[in-house]
Chains A and B, each alone.
Chain A
Amino acid sequence: MPIDLQAVCEIIERHGYQKASLIGILQDIQEEMNHLPRKALVQVGKSLDLPLTHIYEVATFYKAFSLEPRGKHTIQVCLGTACHVRGGSRVLDYLENRLEVKPGETTKDLSFTLESVNCLGACALGPMMVIDKKYYGKINTNKIESILEKYRSK
């Protein structure tokens, strides 16, 4: 996929070329491109006058960033304590087996990326799963299949 460096430059400009805004810049690039392509990171380094190693240090430290292309849909399974005691890890187990991926991985057909997250702050609705920012509360293995079906065709 060709990388739109123009978009990267616009994001950096919006943050006023501030080195302190590096995390915000990377967040916006990821939002735009769904992961952090190397070429984009090289551009960030040039524009902010930061060594590439520093950018990789930050990009690999924070959980929110992905250096690999991600699936069309992102499934986040909440493993916060409240979801855990209500069976959140079983939901994750089930999805791992169903989609044949581990958390952090993307299915071969690039349709789903499976992630586990530590608390989405909607604890009353646990166990909780989020697909592309849509919240599904009080889920169990029985409900997952029909939810996934909605996204398979999209």
Chain B
Amino acid sequence: MNHRIKSISDLRKLRQSLRKSRDGNKPCITICAGTGCLATGASEVVERFKQEILKRHLEEKIDIRASGCHGFCERGPLVVIRPERVCYMNVEATDVSQILTETVLEGKVIDRLLYQDPLTREKITHEENIPFYKFQQRVVFGSNGEIDPTRIDDYIAVGGYQGLEKVLSEKTPEEVIETIKQSGLRGRGGGGFPTGAKWESCRKAKGKEKFVICNADEGDPGAYMDRSLLEGNPHRVIEGMLIGAYAIGSEEGYVYVRNEYPLAVANLSRAIDQAKEYGLLGKNILGSGLTFTVKISRGGGAFVCGESTALMASLEGKVGEPRAKYIHTVEHGLWDQPSNLNNVETWANVPMIIHRGVAWYTSIGTEGSKGTKIFSLVGKINNTGLVEVPMGITLRQIVYDIGGGIPGNKRFKAIQTGGPSGGCIPETLLDLPIDFDRLQEAGSMMGSGGMIVMDEDNCMVDMARYFVRFLQEESCGKCSPCREGLQQMGEILNRICEGNGREGDIKLLQDLSRVMMDTSLCGLGLTAPNPVLSTLRYFREEYEAHIRDKKCPAKYCKGLISLSIDPEKCTGCGACFKICPVDAIAGEKKKTHQLDEEKCVKCRACYEACKFDAIMIS
């Protein structure tokens, strides 16, 4: 059957008829099927709902939708029952029958599946009242729950492709660029470069052809918003790229996506096929004369490929080595042609800016950073997940109001933002309003939006070592400051963590940092010292304790701790004995066990296994 939509008015008619067929009062069971929930068993829950609905002949009465990520990954699988938006958490397949009978058919709420506030112990029924959601402003991410990412009709019904309609019917490419410039949209991938200005340079650049690229090589460890957008709402990204292609004058687009994200690749491929079938990709789109195609390219697992020039080299099938920045990719990018690269979240902002207008968009955010930002709030925090908040919100609001504070009555120590190029922000700066510029002033950066919370048990010297080791592995090796600098920094940090730190090591780290920041070729090396410098700036005393007192205040670093068994508490249960991977624990049943410090590799398996707190770390 030919589904091709020939004109803008045909698309509007289709949207109207889809909306009519969607009965707002009909119960709809939405199950989050993002990667987080799938890992905790969402697909079994979906299957069981389908089976039960068939068995009870309820197909006509109840809709079921496996949607993209809802954000509250900590409590998955999540199930939301519309229209009331009753929200259930940690749902298992065995709960399905009860949910259908009691909640969907009889309208009763099942208490045990509700969210319980960790502080007030209050149970909360509706999604929008749960603190995790209540303080968010989910303008980009919110529609994930409304649509099944495998159905283009769902996206069209909730207003999808209206931005495209508007540019094709009302705006010249120059006007589109002007709108994006006025909106103040800045790149969500890390740098925060003004998107409108980038588009304008690319439009003005001369070349045989032009390319539009979506950077979905989300490499920052601890960030996964782009993955969830591509998985949960791929058409929104495609629509953003279409609008960009129209404005820039490009006929060919690429999405460079990590191969570690199989569901994102699958959902995006399907979305591209559906858009082609509807004539929203291909030739003469909606009868406007616009031609645009999108291809997917899977990354090979190199962090540096998130850098624009390395990414383009990788798209050409070469090794992903960056090149000097003075040649701009908007003029000489992929295949030496003008190329415009934005990341997933940036593209996903575009349709909404066009459709809802500049005045609406600029009403959200701060002077220099407009709109919202999606953060992945992870680490030592009660409510882990993806949160979308207006720019300008404070870290304290994110950590305590949305995130629900630190688990286990532990003390907050720092929050790490900006990925390996970012920095650690201490407790004294919790009231910092978050936007591109404030974070930079604090010695960190926005990055792609990872926010990793650390508590008193995390060692800040170890964190610096972690990021340096990460970057050392990921440095492509092309320029010496980055390759050699990281190597040396890694060695210095290693010896500090192992208890062999020397006087003068801090100064040496600072000197190395300066050289790398002055002389590296690409962003990876230029920003690589940030984790070291920011931890030195705010947690210098921890470095000094490691070097001078040979102590790790967080009791984390292996070289500076020792494990032993408290004979008073040990019951001789044998749990530590069984778990020890190196047979360092000996002892008879029901008698106090002994730990051989010589053999011990300090893996803490025994510490985690002991139910009687008999393993002591000093």
**B-binding residues in A (CB < 8 A):** 18-24, 26-27, 57-58, 61-65, 79-82, 84-87, 89-90, 93-94, 97-98, 117-126, 133, 135-137, 140-142, 145
Q: Does B115 contact A (CB under 8 A)?
A: no
Q: How far is the CA of A14 from the CA of B548 in the complex (A)?
A: 61
Q: C-beta contact mask, B213-227 vs A, less than 8 Å → 1, else 0?
A: 000001111111001
Segment at the interface with A among B316-324, B361-369, B394-402: B316-324
Interchain CB contact (< 8 A) of B582 among A80, A97, A123, A126: A97
In whole Å, how far is A61's beta carbon from the nearest beta carbon of chain B? 4
B317 touches A81 (CB 8 A): no
Q: List 27 A-B contacts (CB under 8 A).
A: A21-B317, A22-B317, A24-B297, A27-B298, A57-B319, A58-B300, A61-B302, A61-B476, A62-B300, A79-B221, A80-B222, A81-B222, A81-B379, A81-B452, A82-B221, A82-B450, A85-B380, A85-B463, A90-B603, A90-B604, A90-B605, A124-B74, A124-B384, A133-B262, A140-B608, A142-B605, A142-B608
Cβ–Cβ < 8 Å partners of A117 in chain B: 260, 301
Cβ–Cβ < 8 Å partners of B452 in chain A: 81-82, 85
Cβ–Cβ < 8 Å partners of B317 in chain A: 18-23, 58
Interchain CB contact (< 8 A) of B608 among A79, A119, A125, A141: A141
Cβ–Cβ < 8 Å partners of A81 in chain B: 221-222, 378-379, 416, 419, 450, 452, 466-467
A98 touches B581 (CB 8 A): yes
B452, closest chain A residue (CB): A81
In whole Å, how far is A125's beta carbon from the nearest beta carbon of chain B? 6
Q: Does B308 contact A (CB under 8 A)?
A: no
Cβ–Cβ < 8 Å partners of A22 in chain B: 317
Q: How far is the CA of A64 from the CA of B473 in the complex (A)?
A: 13
B601 touches A123 (CB 8 A): no
Q: How far is the CA of A122 from the CA of B107 in the complex (A)?
A: 33
Given contacts A22-B317, A126-B378, contact A121 B218 (CB under 8 A): yes
Q: C-beta contact mask, B346-388 vs A, less than 8 Å → 1, else 0?
A: 0000000000000000000000000000001011100011000
Closest 10 CB pairs of A and B: A62-B300, A124-B73, A80-B221, A135-B39, A121-B224, A82-B378, A141-B605, A97-B581, A119-B221, A81-B222
Cβ–Cβ < 8 Å partners of A79 in chain B: 221, 470
Q: Does B201 contact A (CB under 8 A)?
A: no
B259 touches A27 (CB 8 A): yes
Q: How far is the CA of A123 from the CA of B300 in the complex (A)?
A: 21
B35 touches A86 (CB 8 A): no
In whole Å, how far is A131's beta carbon from the nearest beta carbon of chain B? 12
In whole Å, how far is B413's beta carbon from the nearest beta carbon of chain A? 10
In whole Å, how far is B539's beta carbon from the nearest beta carbon of chain A? 15
B378 touches A123 (CB 8 A): yes
Cβ–Cβ < 8 Å partners of B268 in chain A: none
B608 touches A121 (CB 8 A): no
Which of A90, A93, A124 lies at the interface centre, i.e. has the most chain B CB atoms within 10 A of its CB? A124
Q: Does B314 contact A (CB under 8 A)?
A: yes
Within 8 A of A (CB), among B186-233: 218-224, 227
B35 touches A122 (CB 8 A): yes
Q: How far is the CA of A86 from the CA of B407 in the complex (A)?
A: 12
Q: How far is the CA of A33 from the CA of B222 in the complex (A)?
A: 31
Cβ–Cβ < 8 Å partners of A97 in chain B: 581-582, 601, 603
A134, closest chain B residue (CB): B39
In whole Å, how far is B316's beta carbon from the nearest beta carbon of chain A? 5
Q: Does B543 contact A (CB under 8 A)?
A: no
In whole Å, how far is B500's beta carbon from the nearest beta carbon of chain A? 19
Q: How far is the CA of A86 from the CA of B381 in the complex (A)?
A: 10
Cβ–Cβ < 8 Å partners of B581 in chain A: 94, 97-98
Q: A58-B300, A94-B581, A118-B474 are in contact. List 18 more A-B contacts (CB 8 A).
A: A19-B317, A26-B300, A63-B301, A80-B221, A81-B378, A81-B379, A81-B450, A85-B380, A86-B379, A89-B466, A97-B603, A121-B258, A121-B261, A124-B74, A124-B76, A125-B73, A140-B608, A141-B579
A93 touches B376 (CB 8 A): no
A119 touches B384 (CB 8 A): no
Q: Does B36 contact A (CB under 8 A)?
A: yes
B224 touches A118 (CB 8 A): no
Cβ–Cβ < 8 Å partners of A121 in chain B: 35, 218, 223-224, 227, 258, 260-261
**A-binding residues in B (CB < 8 A):** 35-36, 38-40, 73-74, 76, 218-224, 227, 258-262, 297-303, 314-320, 376, 378-380, 384-385, 416, 419, 450, 452-454, 458, 463, 466-467, 470, 473-474, 476, 579, 581-582, 601, 603-605, 608-609
A94 touches B260 (CB 8 A): no
B601, closest chain A residue (CB): A97
Cβ–Cβ < 8 Å partners of B40 in chain A: 125, 137
Given contacts A64-B300, A82-B452, contact A145 B579 (CB under 8 A): yes
B376, closest chain A residue (CB): A123
In whole Å, how far is A99's beta carbon from the nearest beta carbon of chain B? 9
B300 touches A85 (CB 8 A): no
Given contacts A64-B301, A119-B220, contact A23 B314 (CB under 8 A): yes
A22, closest chain B residue (CB): B317
In whole Å, how far is A57's beta carbon from the nearest beta carbon of chain B? 6
Which of B36, B38, B416, B453 lies at the interface centre, i.e. has the most chain A CB atoms within 10 A of its CB? B36
Cβ–Cβ < 8 Å partners of A57 in chain B: 319
In whole Å, how far is B135's beta carbon from the nearest beta carbon of chain A? 18
Given contacts A23-B314, A61-B320, A98-B581, contact A122 B302 (CB under 8 A): no
Cβ–Cβ < 8 Å partners of A140 in chain B: 608
Q: How far is the CA of A19 from the CA of B315 in the complex (A)?
A: 10
A123 touches B224 (CB 8 A): yes
Q: How far is the CA of A145 from the CA of B609 in the complex (A)?
A: 12
Cβ–Cβ < 8 Å partners of A82 in chain B: 221-222, 376, 378-379, 450, 452
Q: How far is the CA of A68 from the CA of B378 in the complex (A)?
A: 35
B219 touches A119 (CB 8 A): yes
B316 touches A142 (CB 8 A): no
Cβ–Cβ < 8 Å partners of B608 in chain A: 140-142
B604 touches A23 (CB 8 A): no
In whole Å, how far is B216's beta carbon from the nearest beta carbon of chain A? 11
Cβ–Cβ < 8 Å partners of A118 in chain B: 219, 221, 303, 470, 473-474
A93 touches B601 (CB 8 A): yes
Q: How far is the CA of A26 from the CA of B220 in the complex (A)?
A: 24
Cβ–Cβ < 8 Å partners of B222 in chain A: 80-82, 119, 123
In whole Å, how far is B542's beta carbon from the nearest beta carbon of chain A? 15
